[in-house]
């Protein structure tokens, strides 16, 4: 009997440790997409486990709720130190997750007690009192499995519904989103102490009230997840509205480029109209034996033609204007600009989509390239059969943070006035042609590659 008691004491003391480990692993799983890397997410989960172990084994017996809050706040501070961004989001995640964990543990606890009582009161156990330890072990395993399942479901739903994992939230949003968690936790504490007091006084479970508490915890957990989903749905609509606004700005920009193309054609037509007069003037200068004046006049005519037509010839007047404009902006910033871009004629690719790609890619390059002797921006294109590729490279000495959901770099600017949507719009334009984008950062260079699938399989 003494040996059996030692085993039962060991299991009794090991159960809280196993529960802490399950919660720590669950929080690590949740934190990975929201942190910079897995190591920092692991630190957050390990911090909770170590903190709760210290509080569990320390000689001072803290109140259960106080010890739990110390663990939660410790995890929050470690997350903030490891990843110094989106502090409101981190606070929301920690409180929400550990609220859901409390509900999961409470549900498992109620089911554990009632399952144990039902099994213990059977004729089979009455005839075999020596089997109580086996029953205890089995019910403990069921308890831990229930916690694993419930916490896993909660984390899975949060990761599925929480779309904008790298976007911070305003303080008002944080307060509103935490209200269900705070209300649930307050009710949980009341129900927990009432249930503990009743069991201590009567030695029995609360029966029907256990079922009501079980239902309340389940509804509270579902309510928290639904609020997250509603919040993300609102955010998604806001993002869609902003992208539509940005698209409208880009359409206005394209219309401006088209106007510039029309002006270019008007200038070319005007020069073509006067070309006969220019040729006649040059001939008269040569017949009068004035070659120097003829050469000077020819030079001025050449400069005028270049200014009218532009230096860049890409095969399409719209892309000519865009490249010429971006080249001018680069030269103002003392950035070397190289272009070997050629518009894919007879490819089925709309010039509007090409202009969206060029505008966004070159604007990003201009914003993230510092002027200097070694600074540069280059844009080139090539085609292999029906695969059409655009590459935009620029000198870049900074660091990037990546959005785990989209696979794109996180913008350092707020998503207002068109910032933060450039790469997403490029990917959207490429997706129309069964294509995608690829980003490579190496040797102080940022390289954006955009693949589009053309209709015809002809060499370019």
**What pLDDT, on a 0 to 100 scale, did the predictor assign at position 12?**
76
Q: What is the pLDDT of residues 57-107, one digit of tens each?
A: 886 677 777 888 888 899 999 999 998 888 899 999 999 999 999 899 888
**What pLDDT, on a 0 to 100 scale, did the predictor assign at position 244?**
77
What is this structure's pTM? 0.62
**155 vs 426: CA distance, rounded Å:** 32
> How many residues are given for the chain?
460
**What pLDDT, on a 0 to 100 scale, did the predictor assign at position 256?**
67
For tokens 């000689």, name the residue.
Answer: 59
Taken in order 68, 74, 76, 78, the sign of the CA dihedral is negative
Domain parsing of the chain, residue ranges: 2-244, 311-460
For tokens 């749905």, name the residue.
Answer: 233
Contacts of 61 (CB under 8 A, 6+ apart): none
Which CATH code of 1.10.3720.10, 3.30.565.10, 3.30.590.10, 3.40.50.2300 fits the domain covering 311-460? Answer: 3.30.565.10
Q: Which residues of the chain have pLDDT under 70?
A: 1-5, 7, 59-60, 119-130, 199-201, 203-206, 246, 249-250, 253-278, 280, 301-312, 402-407, 410-421, 456-460
């Amino acid at each position: 009997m003494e040996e059996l008691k030692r085993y039962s004491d060991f299991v009794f003391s090991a159960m809280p440790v196993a529960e802490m480990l399950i919660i720590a692993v669950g929080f690590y799983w949740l934190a990975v997409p929201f942190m910079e890397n897995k190591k920092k997410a692991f630190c957050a989960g390990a911090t909770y486990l170590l903190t709760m172990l210290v509080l569990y084994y320390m000689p001072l017996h803290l109140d259960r709720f106080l010890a739990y809050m110390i663990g939660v706040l410790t995890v929050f501070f470690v997350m903030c130190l490891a990843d110094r961004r989106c502090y409101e989001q981190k606070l929301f995640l920690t409180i929400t997750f550990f609220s859901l964990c409390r509900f999961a543990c409470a549900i498992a606890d109620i089911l554990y007690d009632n399952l144990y009582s039902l099994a213990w009161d059977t004729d089979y156990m009455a005839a075999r009192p020596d089997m109580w330890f086996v029953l205890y072990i089995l019910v403990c395993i069921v308890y831990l499995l229930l916690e694993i399942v419930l916490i896993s479901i909660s984390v899975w739903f949060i990761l599925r519904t929480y779309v904008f994992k790298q976007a911070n939230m305003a303080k008002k949003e944080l307060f509103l989103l935490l209200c269900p968690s705070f209300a649930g936790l307050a009710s949980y504490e009341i129900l927990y102490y009432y249930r503990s007091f009743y069991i201590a006084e009567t030695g029995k479970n609360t029966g029907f009230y256990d079922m009501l508490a079980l239902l309340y915890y389940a509804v509270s957990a579902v309510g928290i997840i639904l609020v997250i989903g509603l919040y993300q749905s609102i955010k998604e609509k806001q993002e869609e509205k902003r992208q539509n606004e940005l698209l409208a700005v880009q359409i206005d920009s394209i219309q401006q480029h088209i106007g510039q193309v029309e002006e270019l054609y008007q200038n070319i037509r005007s020069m073509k109209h006067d070309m006969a007069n220019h040729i006649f003037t040059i001939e008269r200068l040569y017949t009068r034996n004035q070659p120097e004046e003829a050469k000077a006049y020819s030079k001025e005519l050449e400069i005028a033609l270049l200014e009218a037509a532009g230096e860049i010839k890409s095969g399409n007047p719209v892309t000519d204007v865009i490249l010429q404009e971006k080249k001018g902006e680069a030269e103002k910033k003392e950035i070397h600009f190289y272009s070997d871009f050629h518009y894919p004629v007879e490819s089925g690719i709309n010039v509007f989509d090409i202009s969206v790609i060029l505008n966004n890619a070159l604007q990003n390059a201009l914003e993230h390239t510092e002027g200097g002797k070694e600074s540069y921006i280059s844009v080139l294109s090539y085609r292999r059969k029906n695969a059409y590729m655009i590459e935009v490279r620029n000198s870049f000495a900074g660091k990037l943070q990546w959005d785990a959901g989209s696979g794109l770099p996180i913008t350092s600017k707020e998503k207002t006035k068109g910032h933060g949507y450039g790469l997403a719009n490029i990917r959207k334009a490429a997706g129309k042609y069964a294509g995608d984008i690829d980003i490579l950062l190496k040797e102080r260079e940022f390289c954006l590659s955009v693949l589009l699938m053309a209709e015809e399989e002809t060499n370019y």
